[in-house]
């Protein structure tokens, strides 16, 4: 009996140690030492569970120490007075050194993610410089010149895509590779392209907390993949009546994600109104999904922009159940659904939307 109790106690101790070690592996400790820092307030900006937070610290003897638990690899910002500095940080011990008023002296050590970010920047530097050069003259270019510039920029983007894949293969265990893929999970991204990049990661990277979050985002992105059957959803309209998206079967439906406070969305509304009036009698309609959280602002925008189509919202802002389920991270954004309920296009705006409907309905 004593042996069993001893073994049980040893097992409990071992499990406790493993639990503490696992927890510690997700924590960060940032030690700063900047000459001339004493007495200054240091502000650390970071993301925690999808919410941007700022921690303030008082430096002493030119030093400060900042700690955070369950830390996700990300860009963090350090603000001292009116000066700001950002870098990539990951769980572990990181040091930040230099001279307070001399940003060029700042050095980061202990963050492999930052080291890899610098390596990627160097790897793609020549292409980035060419892109910046072409974009600098874009506003002054004629319509004909813009066509040429667009073609060159597209070619450079394809070259950068190739270099990105090569980088991920060479840094398959890197948090920065996870970051490069994660930032592609926003609106307009093709699921198959992101999935192909994800497959390049080492299994150890996929099993990190960041890797698992990326896998979850891929599952969300998969729901809006072209050719996928639109999942039925229901939300209340402006009168509070629950509306199912499946009730629009038999028509082409533009599911439009927008909000009253979104300037680009409001600027796009006249274009949507134009195509709605042109094709509403040819088997086309629009269903607006608003990311508003105030009913008065929502209804006023509908009236002001003269939008006659169905409008839905749960008034939960960015936590709107429908936009969240489809991984909408920026607006305006939209999904075009065919009469059978399949997604046939996404993020069509301006002339792109009009041309697509001409192709489908004329």
Tens of pLDDT, residue by residue over 303-333, are 999 999 999 999 999 999 999 888 887 899 9
Please tell me the predicted confidence (pLDDT) of residue 309: 97
**Percent of the residues in the chain that have a pLDDT greater than 70, as a whole number:** 92
Please tell me the predicted confidence (pLDDT) of residue 2: 46
Please tell me the predicted confidence (pLDDT) of residue 44: 97
Q: Are 212 and 279 in contact (CB under 8 A)?
A: no
User: pLDDT class for 12, splitting at 50, 70, 90?
Assistant: very low
Tokens of 56: 């303030």
**Percent of the residues in the chain that have a pLDDT greater than 90, as a whole number:** 73
Please tell me the predicted confidence (pLDDT) of residue 186: 64
Query: Is the predicted pLDDT of residue 268 greater than 90, yes or no?
Result: yes
Q: Residue 173: helix, strand or coil by DSSP?
A: coil
User: pLDDT class for 11, splitting at 50, 70, 90?
Assistant: very low
Q: What is the DSSP letter of 331?
A: S
Tokens of 308: 């006659």
Please tell me the predicted confidence (pLDDT) of residue 190: 75
- What are residue 58's DSSP bridge partners? 41
Query: Is the predicted pLDDT of residue 17 greater than 70, yes or no?
Result: no
Distances (CA, A) of 283 to 224, 257, 286, 360, 361: 22, 20, 11, 10, 8
Please tell me the predicted confidence (pLDDT) of residue 22: 40
User: pLDDT class for 189, splitting at 50, 70, 90?
Assistant: low
Q: Residue 260: helix, strand or coil by DSSP?
A: coil
What are the E-state strand segments in the chain?
28-35, 41-48, 51-58, 63-68, 74-80, 83-89, 92-99, 102-109, 234-236, 242-244, 252-258, 284-290, 310-312, 333-337, 343-346
Please tell me the predicted confidence (pLDDT) of residue 1: 47
Q: What does pTM read for this prediction?
A: 0.71
Contacts of 227 (CB under 8 A, 6+ apart): 342, 343, 344
Distances (CA, A) of 105 to 42, 59, 86, 120, 173: 17, 18, 14, 21, 29
Please tell me the predicted confidence (pLDDT) of residue 3: 46
Q: Which class for 127: exposed (0-12), middle (13-18), buried (19 or more C-beta within 10 A)?
A: middle
Please tell me the predicted confidence (pLDDT) of residue 26: 84
CA angle 326–252–271, rounded 5-degree value: 85
Please tell me the predicted confidence (pLDDT) of residue 5: 52
| Rg, the chain, Cα only | 25
| Arithmetic mean of pLDDT, 254-261 | 96
Q: How high does pLDDT run on average in the chain?
A: 89
Please tell me the predicted confidence (pLDDT) of residue 108: 96
């Amino acid at each position: 009996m004593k042996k069993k109790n001893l073994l049980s106690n040893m097992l409990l101790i071992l499990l406790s140690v493993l639990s503490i070690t696992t927890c510690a592996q997700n924590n960060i400790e940032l030690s700063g030492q900047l000459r001339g820092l004493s007495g200054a307030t240091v502000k650390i900006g970071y993301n925690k569970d999808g919410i941007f937070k700022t921690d303030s610290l008082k430096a002493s003897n030119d030093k400060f120490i900042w700690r955070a638990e369950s830390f996700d690899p990300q860009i963090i910002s350090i603000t001292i007075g009116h000066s700001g500095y950002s870098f990539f940080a990951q769980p572990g011990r990181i040091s930040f050194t230099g001279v307070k008023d001399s940003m060029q002296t700042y050095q980061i050590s202990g963050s492999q993610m930052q080291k890899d970010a610098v390596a990627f920047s160097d790897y793609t530097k020549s292409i980035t410089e060419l892109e910046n050069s072409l974009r600098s003259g874009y506003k002054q270019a004629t319509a004909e010149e813009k066509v040429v510039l667009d073609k060159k920029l597209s070619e450079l983007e394809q070259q950068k895509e190739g270099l990105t894949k090569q980088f991920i293969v060479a840094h398959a265990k890197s948090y920065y590779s996870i970051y490069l893929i994660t930032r592609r999970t926003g609106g307009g991204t093709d699921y198959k392209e992101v999935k192909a990049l994800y497959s390049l990661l080492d299994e150890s990277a996929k099993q990190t907390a960041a890797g698992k979050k990326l896998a979850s985002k891929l599952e969300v992105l998969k729901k809006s993949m072209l050719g996928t059957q639109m999942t039925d959803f229901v939300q209340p309209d402006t009168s509070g009546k629950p509306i199912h998206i499946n009730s629009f079967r038999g028509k082409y439906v533009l599911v439009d994600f927008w909000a009253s406070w979104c300037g680009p969305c409001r600027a796009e509304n006249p274009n949507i109104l134009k195509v709605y009036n042109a094709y509403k009698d040819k088997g086309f309609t629009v269903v607006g999904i608003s990311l508003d959280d105030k009913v008065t602002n929502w209804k006023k925008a509908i009236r002001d922009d003269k939008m006659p189509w169905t409008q839905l919202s749960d008034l939960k802002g960015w936590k709107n159940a429908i936009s969240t389920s489809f991984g909408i991270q920026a607006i305006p954004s939209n999904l075009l659904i065919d009469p059978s309920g399949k997604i046939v296009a996404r993020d069509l705006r301006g002339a792109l939307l009009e041309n697509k409907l001409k192709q489908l309905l004329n």
